[in-house]
Structure 1
Amino acid sequence: MYLIVSMDIKFKTNQEKIERRINHFGLRKIQNTLYIGELDKIEQNLLVKSINEIIKENDSVLITPICQNCYSKKETCGREIKFKNDLFRVY
């Protein structure tokens, strides 16, 4: 299942920590605080758990699962978002 992860983090140091966790699971940055990637339910739960360990009270991270059918219907306006094929997950 695809996930879209967006965040609103007050302090840059905490944002960097959360971004490292998101990158660790192989999600790719598509805008400043917006990531997308494909994770199974177990990986999604691990991601949520690891973010909850470091998130602060006034911060928020929104993780939205979307099915492949919905993802295939996406539309892009402006600059096309391209992913490098050589990216991989680090465990």
Structure 2
Amino acid sequence: MYMIASFDCKFKTNKENIERILQHYGLRKIQSSLYAGDLNNDERKNLCENISKIIQEKDNVLIIPVCESCYSKKEICGRKIKFRDDLFRVY
């Protein structure tokens, strides 16, 4: 299922750690703190567990599942968002 992840971090080092975890699971950067990609339920659970281990008190990460039907209705205004299909997940 398609996932959108957004986060807000107080410290730059924790932001970099969260970004590294999101990228490890194959999520791709859309905006400065917004990532999107395809994850199954097990991957989503593992992602949340890994983020929970490093997240600090004032940080938060929001992960929203989006069905294919809803995602296909997306509209992009302004700069076109290009995903590179040659990216792959590393486990």
Quickly name the TM-score band, shorter chain normalised: over 0.9
TM-score by length of 2: 0.99
What's the RMSD between the two structures over aligned residues? Answer: 0.4
Identity over the aligned pairs, expressed in percent?
A: 60
Deviations 1:45-69 (A, max 9, x none): 0000000000000001000001000
Aligned-pair CA distance for 1:14: 0.4
* Structure 2 unmatched runs, 5+: none
Matched, 1:7 2:34: no
Q: Which residue of 1 aligns with 2:78?
A: 78
Q: Which residue of 2 aligns with 1:54?
A: 54
Q: Using the alignment, how far apart are the partners of 1:15 and 1:26 within structure 2?
A: 17
TM-score by length of 1: 0.99
Count of aligned positions: 91
* Structure 1 unmatched runs, 5+: none
- 5 Å matches for 1:30-49? 30-49=30-49
Q: Using the alignment, how far apart are the partners of 1:57 and 1:21 within structure 2?
A: 18
Matched, 1:88 2:88: yes
SS in structure 1 of the partner of residue 82 of structure 2: coil
Aligned-pair CA distance for 1:85: 1.2
SS in structure 2 of the partner of residue 26 of structure 1: coil
